[in-house]
Structure 1
Amino acid sequence: MAHPALKSKLEADVEIQAPPEQFFQMLVSYKLRDVQHTCNDKIQRCDLQQGEWGKVGTIIDWSYVHDGETKVAKDVIEVMDPDKHLITFRVIEGDVLKEHKSFSLSLQASPEISSSGSIVHLTLEYERLHDGIAHPETLLQLLADLTKDIDAHLPQPN
């Protein structure tokens, strides 16, 4: 039985220049593989393993740098909502599952009221294997930094 104290959620908001549609399209299209060129200090590989870019059930294989170490993850797209500019990935294999029973990441881009940009809401939901495992704040920071790197790579509105 799951220990309720081991289930947690971390959230962060990242302000970007791109409109929600543009950021979301980057995440759901074949262009996601370009993220390794945009942020090669953080992402070393992003390969379509099974399915089609931007479809629920698609499996993506990642190699990334976290806390100075190269790590791997295999994610499945669980939620894809173009109207809400929301995508959720669930990790099904990889380094993060050495310390977590379950791990998922959601990104949702919403219009920024005071500009033509967006706010990207990042959510990590996870269950640690035991109390001795730290919450993945550095992973959340990595994702926030990646979001900014992706935004910097997108064509900026005039």
Structure 2
Amino acid sequence: MTANVKIEALGNENKLITFAILEGEILNLYTSFKADLQVMDAGYAKWSIEYEKANESAPDPEVYRNFAVMMSKGLDAYLSRA
């Protein structure tokens, strides 16, 4: 699955990045889809998703949990090298 993603907001104070999906296959299921990634003081990543289903048969976006975990681990590995 592919998507065109825009970083909509960066919050240095609260260590928050908001991603918005602009186009891609995911918008066949959801009319809007945003994800927040916040790095907590304890050193873990907190993801939250805001979405609106395109229709009632669209699934809840639980399938994207694995992607969030994978992205968090990649980000952690990248930042650990810096």
Per the TM superposition, whether the score is higher than 0.5 is yes
1:126 aligns with 2:54: no
User: Between Structure 1 and Structure 2, how many residues are aligned?
Assistant: 81
* Identical amino acids, percent of aligned pairs: 28
Structure 1 residue ranges, 4+ long, deviating more than 2 angstroms after superposition:
152-156
In structure 1, the partner of 2:11 is 81
Instruction: Return the index of the structure with the highest Cα Rg.
Output: 1
Q: Distance in 2 between matches of 1:126 and 1:141?
A: 17
1:108 aligns with 2:33: no
In structure 2, the partner of 1:150 is 75
Q: Distance in 2 between matches of 1:80 and 1:154?
A: 17
1:94 aligns with 2:24: yes
Higher RCO structure, 1 or 2 (CA under 8 Å, sep 6+) = 1
Gaps of 5+ in 1: 1-70, 113-117
Shift of 1:119: 1.8
Q: TM-score, normalised by structure 2?
A: 0.87
Q: TM-score, normalised by structure 1?
A: 0.48
Letter in 2 for 1:97: L
Gaps of 5+ in 2: none
Which secondary structure state, in structure 2, belongs to the residue aligned with residue 155 of structure 1? Answer: helix
In structure 2, the partner of 1:53 is none
In structure 2, the partner of 1:141 is 66
